[in-house]
Structure 1
Amino acid sequence: MTQVTAKAGRKEWIALFVLLLPLLLVSMDVSVLYFAVPFISEEISPTSTEQLWIFDIYGFVLAGMLITMGWLGDRIGRRKLLLIGTVAFGAASVAAAYASSPLMLIIARGVLGIGGAVLTPATAGLIRNMFHDEKQRQTAVAIWTGGLAGGIGLGPVMSGLLLEHFWWGSVFLVNLPFMALLLILAPLLVPESKDPGAGRFDWVSSLLSLAAILPIIYGIKEWAANGADGVVIGAIAFGAAVGVLFVLRQRRPDPMIDLALMSRREINGPVFTKMIAMFCLVGMSAFTSQYLQSVYGMRPLVAGLWSLLPSAGVSVTTPIVTILLKKGVHRSLLVSVGYLIGVAAFAVLTLATPDSGFWVVLLSAGLLAGGLVIVMTLATELLVGSAPPQRASVAAATLETGAQLGGALGLAVMGSIAGAVYRDEVAENLPAGLPDAASSAVEQTLGGAVAVSGQLPGKLGDTVLAAAREAFASGVHTTAYVCMALLAFGAVFASIYLRKVNVRPDAVNPDLIPDQPVQHAEPVRVR
């Protein structure tokens, strides 16, 4: 039988844009509640703890279920699971929009997380099985990564626009038209694909993966918010111990994750590469929004609109990388360049002060987005292109789980460092005679300082606010130096570890129907 390289046609490219619909919504739901908090608080009156869970449960469940849902998609069919996830995501969106109590909203957000965990690896797995030509897959993965990053940026803006005209539940109902469109178009345009050799569903591994990831991410987020205590350390230790049990479980026949596959550098290299990028990107994103709102005094919607500007960096770097790849430039070199652009971004951020124009922060954010999207796109393309097609979803799920952990670590570590610097510096520069309650609020957060300064008489309020803003800038500068060092290490790591990694183009028989396993010119043994 003659083996030829199959190229995607018009139908596959249209299907790719159909697959962007769930991806945009999943990533938007990470950030869509940012501006809705005051409205939710007024309507259903959650406690501070309940409010935290409303925010965090989505990301917790999303991260904890990614591996399970990736494996399930490989087993029962990625398109079938995509449609199931779409229905679950739509139903949970309705439940969240009309939640009448904090508990109901928390549960609905948890189900949204399950739906998101279905949709993300399913779309990546389908792309792997739709685009077998290496150059076409590079472009497809770049579009996929841009959709994922773009959704996170669009979330606050969409939220702000809806809240200007509708009630807070509208930020969830906006999902429904897109979900309906996906249910109509996916069966017509997206081909089914699965691993016909997948074994029985391993409920034990599924529960172990969830029990390992949830407490680790919870501990990391709590560490960032309130510092380390016995509960936080215990949660992280428990998650790590369960993670060891999960790995041991994978040594049995027919595992959920093939340890031999994950030990290959073309798999674990991209996971670590994207984890570093997400550590710095997510770790600094909160500081950017705080700079715009609390240092430069922008309203949330105005800050959200300005925060779209850095996406111009992505629109510039992505096509350049695609051209360089087609000219034969090795991915390891381009990943290193992406990391170094990130280093330059943080160098620019160290120039931002309360007196500098906000363009300094936006320039830094644009460089960071442009550089690290290069890294994340190539990491995704390298892993998706190297993973056997029949295990594409679980490989993509492993990549995204690593990215979630990297982002959570970035928030915790960067938040802790910046908070420590802020508290030390602001305490030294507060004017004498400030009431203890006011001093305590100012020393906690910049937001607290903004609130207190508005209640103090004229010059005293200005002095307190200026001291807080200077301290906040110092904290951000310190974290920028940390990220500069980490991204420089990432550049060296990529140039050495990824240098020998190459994506092997698929050689497939064009007569194969979609449900059949893809044939490789050089078969990869998967156990």
Structure 2
Amino acid sequence: MLMIPVLLVSVDNTVLSFAVPSITRDLAPSGNELLWMIDIYPLVLAGLLVPMGSLGDRIGRRRLLLIGATGFAAVSALAAFAPNAGSLIAARFFLGFFGAMLMPATLSLIRNIFTDDNERRIAIAIWAAGFSGGAALGPLVGGWLLEHFWWGSVFLLAVPVLLPLLLLGPILLPESRDPHPGPVDLIGIVLVSGALVGVVFAIKAAASGDGLAVVALAGGAGLAAGYGFVRRMLRSSTPMLDVRLFANPIFSGALAVNLVSVFALVGFIYFFTQYLQLVAGHGPMDAALLLIPGLACTIAFGLAAVPLVRRIGASRVIMLGLGLNSIAYLVVAGLGHTGSQTALLAGFVMLCAGVGMAETISNDLALSAVPPAKAGAASAVSETAYEVGAVLGTAVLGSLLNLAYRTHVVVPAGVGAEEAEHAQATLGGAVQVAEGLPHEVGQQLLDSATTAFDSGVTWTAAIGFAASLLALLVARRALRNA
């Protein structure tokens, strides 16, 4: 029962990236709007996961889960019929709000249901496999829907998926809460949300090429809010989040691994789904099928990591996973272009295997470092790392990809100003414009757009490689006693 919301949130992340070409054709978003469609959901999740996890500790984790599921289903139905890019961005905002209720509730319930270490590790492996299963199911189901229906059908998936949880959850799931939670800290909620949103927005603005003033203002506000939150938590007798946990190198190291693993996976999927459809020319269903082997490896290697920990230890399993992530991005960066689909697929499979191993064990290490009564807040922190990684994967790597594309694409002479602006915004826009041009001019635009996209992929792969390698070095030091 707890796997339903996990699958759903994971599906919602990957299926939208997969629907980008269809959304681009129908809603004609700008490059910035396209990024916000994807970014706003995990951005709101990242800002609200800690408050929602703390709220679940207080009012009951099952109750919070059911409230979130109801809201998520209702907003998903509205998102399916969004008439323009702004409406879809707004719907994604509210999906993030209710999604923040779902995520910490599932992991904290697992922490309290499974008290045996080995059973908990297996349960978390299955939980993590649910993310991978959703990531695999999203492109497959989404690809089929996009070939037979309009892009909004991918959002309607939430309604039938959540119905079993809403009907059976009150019967099958036990309620749990912190026996001594303390009062709801509204000021703390504002501070932690402001810190996460401000810092992530600053990184996104910097990667998008926005002005220095915007980056400095957002980043400064986020850091100030974060400082205020830490001070408030240290002074509180019943803190929303015990920030002293971060002094534990295993807890902090596990969160860093969690963040970077998701960063690497989401960033890869962002450009790979566009490459398969817009460069390689695959239909949505065919492209989805090409992703399945890699995403299935995430599940298989996540489950295999559990017995492997007993043989070589948790830290070595995590370092092995991060090593595979680094090699995968190095393969892509070494190509210098996106001409080899086989090499890209091999890199994706390798990356997914590494993410499956590192993600499963890092979640277990972070969760096992806290007492059961604080499971909601701790799982929320782990989920926050996951969602911040998802935001940064798109914001940093996606913005860098778009920036490289806009810098290098050349629109042939004779193309109208409005069409040229659309072609310069995104690769999908260039493909759409090229379809309405004379063959020779359209082919020139496609060649230039593909070359520009290639240069962006090379840069994003280099950043992904550096991030994964840095995480490996951090894990080696912080998790050596795990």
Q: Please, what TM-score do these two structures have when normalized by structure 1?
A: 0.81
Question: Structure 1: which amino acid aligns with 2:218?
Answer: A
Are the equivalent residues in 1 in contact too, given 2:135–2:295 (CA < 8 A)?
A: no
1:295 aligns with 2:279: yes
1:478 aligns with 2:459: yes
Shift of 1:219: 3.6
Q: 1:166-211: per-residue Cα shift (whole Å, max 9, x none)? A: 5555433322233221123323332222210110111111122222
Question: Structure 1: which amino acid aligns with 2:246?
Answer: M
Give the secondary-structure state (helix, strand or coil) at the position aligned to 1:30.
Answer: helix
1:280 & 1:140 partners in 2: Cα distance?
Answer: 24
Are the equivalent residues in 2 in contact too, given 1:342–1:368 (CA < 8 A)?
A: yes
Give the secondary-structure state (helix, strand or coil) at the position aligned to 2:281.
Answer: coil
Match of 2:157 among 174, 177, 196: 174
Are the equivalent residues in 2 in contact too, given 1:135–1:326 (CA < 8 A)?
A: no
Of stretches 228-237 and 250-259 in structure 1, the one that deviates more from structure 2 is 228-237
1:361 aligns with 2:344: yes
1:186 aligns with 2:169: yes
Give the secondary-structure state (helix, strand or coil) at the position aligned to 1:499.
Answer: coil
Give the secondary-structure state (helix, strand or coil) at the position aligned to 1:26.
Answer: helix
Give the structure 1 partner of residue 239 of structure 2: 255
2:78 & 2:220 partners in 1: Cα distance?
Answer: 34
2:343 & 2:25 partners in 1: Cα distance?
Answer: 36
Question: Structure 1: which amino acid aligns with 2:173?
Answer: V
Question: Structure 1: which amino acid aligns with 2:94?
Answer: V
Shift of 1:118: 0.9
1:342 aligns with 2:335: no
1:30 aligns with 2:13: yes
Match of 1:218 among 186, 201, 207: 201
Shift of 1:374: 1.0
Give the structure 2 partner of residue 271 of structure 1: 255
Distance verdict in 2 for CA 1:237–1:148, change over 3 Å: same
* CA RMSD of superposed structures (Å): 3.3
Are the equivalent residues in 1 in contact too, given 2:39–2:394 (CA < 8 A)?
A: no
1:261 & 1:105 partners in 2: Cα distance?
Answer: 38
Question: Structure 2: which amino acid aligns with 1:184?
Answer: L
1:139 aligns with 2:127: no
Higher-Rg member (1/2) = 1
Are the equivalent residues in 2 in contact too, given 1:223–1:412 (CA < 8 A)?
A: no
Give the structure 1 partner of residue 446 of structure 2: 465
Question: Structure 1: which amino acid aligns with 2:428?
Answer: G
Of stretches 176-185 and 218-227 in structure 1, the one that deviates more from structure 2 is 218-227
Give the structure 2 partner of residue 314 of structure 1: 298
May I ask how many residue pairs the two structures share in their alignment?
A: 480
Which runs of no fewer than 5 residues in structure 1 stay unpaired? 1-17, 502-527
Are the equivalent residues in 2 in contact too, given 1:295–1:354 (CA < 8 A)?
A: no
Question: Structure 1: which amino acid aligns with 2:313?
Answer: H
1:60 & 1:111 partners in 2: Cα distance?
Answer: 11
2:7 & 2:281 partners in 1: Cα distance?
Answer: 29
- Identity percentage of aligned residues: 39
Give the structure 1 partner of residue 269 of structure 2: 285
Shift of 1:126: 0.8
Shift of 1:255: 1.2
Give the secondary-structure state (helix, strand or coil) at the position aligned to 2:292.
Answer: coil
1:150 & 1:354 partners in 2: Cα distance?
Answer: 30
Question: Structure 1: which amino acid aligns with 2:321?
Answer: G
Are the equivalent residues in 2 in contact too, given 1:353–1:473 (CA < 8 A)?
A: yes
Shift of 1:277: 1.7
Are the equivalent residues in 2 in contact too, given 1:333–1:494 (CA < 8 A)?
A: no
Shift of 1:68: 0.5
Distance verdict in 2 for CA 1:435–1:111, change over 3 Å: closer
Distance verdict in 2 for CA 1:377–1:163, change over 3 Å: same
Give the secondary-structure state (helix, strand or coil) at the position aligned to 2:293.
Answer: coil
Give the structure 2 partner of residue 78 of structure 1: 61
Match of 2:359 among 372, 376, 384: 376
Q: Please, what TM-score do these two structures have when normalized by structure 2?
A: 0.87
Give the structure 1 partner of residue 468 of structure 2: 487
Q: 1:314-356: per-residue Cα shift (whole Å, max 9, x none)? A: 24423432221233x2111111111111122123323557684
Of stretches 44-53 and 61-70 in structure 1, the one that deviates more from structure 2 is 44-53
Of stretches 257-266 and 312-321 in structure 1, the one that deviates more from structure 2 is 312-321
1:122 & 1:366 partners in 2: Cα distance?
Answer: 30
Give the structure 1 partner of residue 479 of structure 2: 498
2:239 & 2:252 partners in 1: Cα distance?
Answer: 17
Are the equivalent residues in 2 in contact too, given 1:213–1:239 (CA < 8 A)?
A: yes
Are the equivalent residues in 2 in contact too, given 1:257–1:394 (CA < 8 A)?
A: yes
Distance verdict in 2 for CA 1:164–1:414, change over 3 Å: closer
Shift of 1:257: 0.8
1:407 aligns with 2:390: yes
Distance verdict in 2 for CA 1:330–1:49, change over 3 Å: closer
Indicate the structure with greater helix content.
2
Give the structure 2 partner of residue 447 of structure 1: 428
2:83 & 2:461 partners in 1: Cα distance?
Answer: 42
Are the equivalent residues in 1 in contact too, given 2:209–2:403 (CA < 8 A)?
A: no
Shift of 1:299: 2.5
Shift of 1:363: 1.3
Are the equivalent residues in 2 in contact too, given 1:352–1:473 (CA < 8 A)?
A: no
Question: Structure 1: which amino acid aligns with 2:7?
Answer: L
Distance verdict in 2 for CA 1:61–1:474, change over 3 Å: closer
Shift of 1:446: 3.4
Shift of 1:391: 0.7
Distance verdict in 2 for CA 1:289–1:353, change over 3 Å: farther
2:26 & 2:451 partners in 1: Cα distance?
Answer: 36
Distance verdict in 2 for CA 1:290–1:103, change over 3 Å: closer
1:478 & 1:47 partners in 2: Cα distance?
Answer: 22
Are the equivalent residues in 2 in contact too, given 1:162–1:171 (CA < 8 A)?
A: yes
2:59 & 2:475 partners in 1: Cα distance?
Answer: 35
Shift of 1:295: 1.9
Are the equivalent residues in 1 in contact too, given 2:191–2:229 (CA < 8 A)?
A: yes
Give the secondary-structure state (helix, strand or coil) at the position aligned to 1:307.
Answer: helix
Match of 1:151 among 134, 137, 141: 134
